[in-house]
Amino acid sequence: DAGVIQSPRHEVTEMGQEVTLRCKPISGHNSLFWYRQTMMRGLELLIYFNNNVPIDDSGMPEDRFSAKMPNASFSTLKIQPSEPRDSAVYFCASTQTGGFYEQYFGPGTRLTVT
């Protein structure tokens, strides 16, 4: 299995620009999680989906952030407009409902907003 795939691995953008991060979960996994990791705040859960439906988005920082999962094999996290404080590493993880909830993480996208 290829594992969780994220793209791009690195993104540098200017403040005010739209940023789209992409994730492909492990085949057969039906829950997907988006996390943000910073030195100051550690690992934060932003949103998670089950069977492509958003279940908990209480961690989404503000309306500038949105996430979609149009099908079982693809999800996006969009920031519009981006701000310097959004600079972080964004991780996607997936798990299989009915298992024991161990999550498998992608390599992350390092976002820098200048």
Question: How many chain residues touch other proteins (CB under 8 A)?
Answer: 23
| CA separation for the pair 23, 14 (Å, rounded) | 22
User: How long, in residues, is the chain?
Assistant: 114
Applying CB under 8 A, does 53 fall inside the site for other proteins? no
| CA separation for the pair 106, 55 (Å, rounded) | 20
Applying CB under 8 A, does 75 fall inside the site for other proteins? no
User: 2, 73, 64, 3: which is closest to 32 by C-alpha?
Assistant: 73
**Which residue's CB is nearer to other proteins, number 6 or number 82?**
6
Applying CB under 8 A, does 12 fall inside the site for other proteins? no
Contact positions vs other proteins (CB under 8 A): 4, 31, 33, 42-43, 45, 48, 50, 55-56, 91, 93, 95, 97, 100-108
